Structure 1
Amino acid sequence: MCPPCYNDRKSPRASFHDYKAGIYFITICTKDKRHYFGKVQEGIMQLSPIGEFCHQQWERVSEHYPYATVPLFIVMPNHIHAIVSINQETEPAAQKTARETLAIVVGGIKREVTMFAREHKIAFDWQSRYYDRIIRNRKEGNNIATYIENNVARWDSDKYYEKEP
């Protein structure tokens, strides 16, 4: 029998979503929100070498994961925002839920960036988890896209903003 805490745990799954396919808004942060990926200067995101590599990985998602597309993303100094679309019609995604497949994509990018950092002797670490939200309709998707597109311009007021020492 499971301990009581397992029985009381709320499922992270949305009851209105079948998880066979989906479009998600995700946010991935660096550990302790350290500015590994670069800095915002005069309203422009200046990517560091690891930030540039991370950016390239997001551009190439469909090459590595044919069931996933990323129509919009931004690499910020200490986090990434992306819209990720999962298509369950292609293998191996058909064998998993879209959320599980999304975790494979995010985990793959995190792994590649971590390997790049180690190979180039760059101090780097990710926050252990990431945030995902199902995009439920066009209006919500448009609002999220606007948020991502304006992220650099709003950096000083962003909830992830912290000045580097």
Structure 2
Amino acid sequence: MKNETKFQNRYRILSNRLSGWDYSNEGAYFLTLCTCHRECLFGEIINHDMVLNDYGAIVQREWIYSAQLRPEILLDSYVIMPNHFHTIVHVVSNQSGGCPDGLSGGLFGGTSRVETHGCASLQNPVFHQNPISQQQPISHPPLYRTPKSVSSLMAGFKSVVTKQINIIRGTPGKKVWQANYYDHIIRNDKEYERIADYIGMNPELWQSDSLR
């Protein structure tokens, strides 16, 4: 007889996705990825600036390329840190930047603030509170990734970065990222500005960063 409780969910990987939410819905999303065991792989903070190494340059290049591959994705503010990656992305049905019911403003902040040097620059950043504390509670993962969705984007991005880094360091199959990532659905302009400011200030806050 098969023992249904043999492993007692020991090997189940929990998800941070919001239960019942379709992540192919239009909207703005704050996403955070951490390296496996929070290993500092991507460079170092020098004088409050993030200096990318070769692995960090791979993360930057592949992130920018991700949007070129996916017309439903618009990139916004992002920062590559030594052991994690914060970003805002917009899922749109077309390049006009539409937005679902309950979310206002299309592309929050008026225009997309995508940068290409690993840390989004912002004018007069103000840090109000750590937005990670508001990210979604753990729920069980879906068995299927919706095409043209945040989960599909992240799976592809994590996979290609892992493959390229492992080729360089000669470690085929070694994990680069944690199995999961954190997400938060951005609801309005005020929340967008707070999170974008937090992303911009991340290198300055490295010494007190909870993700170190």
Q: Give the equivalent residue in structure 1 for 2:206.
A: 155
Q: Structure 1 residue 139 and structure 2 residue 139: aligned?
A: no
Shift of 1:83: 0.1
Unaligned runs of 5+ in 1: 6-10, 91-95
Decide whether the 8 Å contact of 1:29 with 1:127 is kept in 2. Answer: yes
Unaligned runs of 5+ in 2: 1-8, 10-16, 96-144
Q: Structure 1 residue 77 and structure 2 residue 98: aligned?
A: no
Question: After superposition, what is the alpha-carbon deviation per residue over 1:5-42, rounded to whole angstroms, capped at 9, x for unaligned?
Answer: 9xxxxx82367x89621110000000110001111011
What is the CA–CA distance in structure 2 between the aligned matches of 1:140 and 1:73, rounded to whole Å?
16
Find the residue that maps to 2:34 and give its secondary structure: strand
Decide whether the 8 Å contact of 1:20 with 1:97 is kept in 2. Answer: no
Q: Give the equivalent residue in structure 1 for 2:176.
A: 125
Higher helix share: 1
1:1-165 mapped onto 2 (5 Å cutoff)? 12-13=18-19, 20-89=25-94, 101-121=149-169, 125-161=176-212
RMSD of the alignment, in Å?
Answer: 2.6
Decide whether the 8 Å contact of 2:58 with 2:165 is kept in 1. Answer: no
Provide TM-score, normalisation by structure 2.
0.62
Higher strand share: 1
Question: After superposition, what is the alpha-carbon deviation per residue over 1:93-123, rounded to whole angstroms, capped at 9, x for unaligned?
Answer: xxx869x710111111101111111221255
Find the residue that maps to 1:160 and give its secondary structure: coil
What is the CA–CA distance in structure 1 between the aligned matches of 2:94 and 2:146, rounded to whole Å?
11
